[in-house]
Amino acid sequence: MEKGYEVHGIIRRASISNTARIDHLIEKNAVILHDGDLSDSSGITAIIRNVQPDEIYNLAAQSHVQVSFDVPEYSGDVDALGVLRILEAVRNVGLEKTCRIYQASTSELFGKVEEVPQRETTPFHPYSPYAVAKQYGFWITKEYREAYGMFAVNGILFNHESERRGENFVTRKITLAAGRIACSLQEKLQLGNLDSLRDWGYAKDYVECMWLILQHDTPEDFVIATGEQHTVRDFTQKAFAAVGIELRFEGSGLEEKGIDTKTGKVLVEVNEAWYRPTDVDNLWGDPTKARTVLGWNPQKTTYEELVQIMALHDLKLAQKEAALKEAMKGIE
């Protein structure tokens, strides 16, 4: 929108409103929404025929890795065949020479990693139903590029976080809990694998890189990452520090605990329920190609800044919730 585009989006029908994260745009009529679903090819084709887009960014997915173990078939339908449906729709309405397509591929493709850090040439080893489906999405995008000469490309994105991140992804789960614990609205936070390593970047910076990939002269695939990795434990410690709580970790495995150094209270526990049947635990991207070919800055927002942005945003939310609770007490 900042670049002057007319932006259209596809929204799945739900019986309750699910637009909280874009309501500020809807209010300003800044985005045009169409009812649709990646599992429905006739609808996708109709939308693409009506809109006649110059660029398509396919960011739609069943994007939760752990959930993909519970809904593997649905994840495959949307994350794999959904990509094919878009590519075919673009061909069927005759836009294959003019419409550029960006496919949101993922560092989960590297999965049980065969090289550290991971770059464009690192072999894939997907390690969840989600990643296996995304592998199809990657290759079908490349296939349509090679078979039909379409400008169809993959951004292989490492984890991209922000204050709008879904609440059941680990970073947001941590920052929401840190804010609520600091405001005495919650006692504890339960997490899974604290040793897992991620290359976490700021979503806003990554969207800029997606756009650069589509403006490039030639259609090519790129890794988008910061080039730094940290553990879930480190993210937790930094997020709690941002809201004024110093944590020290003691013990190991399921017995590990995060303890408030001031009060001695246990604030973080490990719960087996958050472990995955197979977990990807060493993601670390090498953004050299994006930096040198596209001129993108992988460190525009640093890891420390990212944790601060998210933690302070969620502290404010918690403070509002606490104030409301206090005001309600007065009324009662």
Smallest gap from residue 142 Cβ to ligand G4F (A): 18
Distance CA 187, CA 126 (A): 36
**Among the listed residues 45, 107, 118, 282, the single contact to ligand G4F using CB under 6 A:** 107
106 catalytic? Reply is: yes
| Among 102, 158, 240, 284, interactor with ligand G4F by CB under 6 A | 158
User: Does residue 169 interact with ligand G4F by CB under 6 A?
Assistant: yes
| Among 47-55, 117-125, 249-257, 272-280, the segment contacting ligand G4F (CB under 6 A) | 272-280
Given the rule CB under 6 A, which of 147-155, 205-213, 274-282, 308-316 is the region that contacts ligand G4F? 274-282
Give kind and range of the element (H or E) at residue 87: helix 82-92
326's CB contacts (< 8 A; 6+ apart) are: none
Closer to ligand G4F by CB, 10 or 48: give it. Answer: 10
Question: Reduced to 3 states, what is the DSSP secondary structure of residue 292?
Answer: helix
- At residue 299, what is the residue type? Q
Burial class of residue 244 (count of CB atoms within 10 Å of its CB; 0-12, 13-18, 19+): exposed
Strand 222-224, strand 152-157: pairing: parallel
Rounded CA separation 119/289 (Å): 8
> Binding marks (x or -) toward ligand G4F, 230..249, rule CB under 6 A?
--x-----------------
Number of residues that bind ligand G4F (CB under 6 A): 24
198, 230, 233, 238: which one contacts ligand G4F (CB under 6 A)? 198
Instruction: Verify whether residue 108 is a known catalytic residue.
Output: yes
Which residues lie below 8 Å from residue 328, measured CB to CB, with a gap of 6+?
A: none
Q: Regarding beta strands 189-191 and 266-270, do their DSSP bridges make them parallel or antiparallel, or are they unpaired?
A: parallel
Stretch of residues binding ligand G4F (CB under 6 A), selected from 103-111, 175-183, 249-257, 309-317: 103-111
Identify which of 315, 123, 132, 100 has the alpha carbon closest to the alpha carbon of residue 210: 100
Kindly name the residue from 106, 141, 171, 175 that is annotated as catalytic.
Answer: 106
Active-site amino acid positions: 106, 108, 130
State the residues that interact with ligand G4F by CB under 6 A.
63, 65-66, 106-108, 157-159, 168-170, 173, 191-193, 196, 198, 232, 274, 276, 279, 281, 283
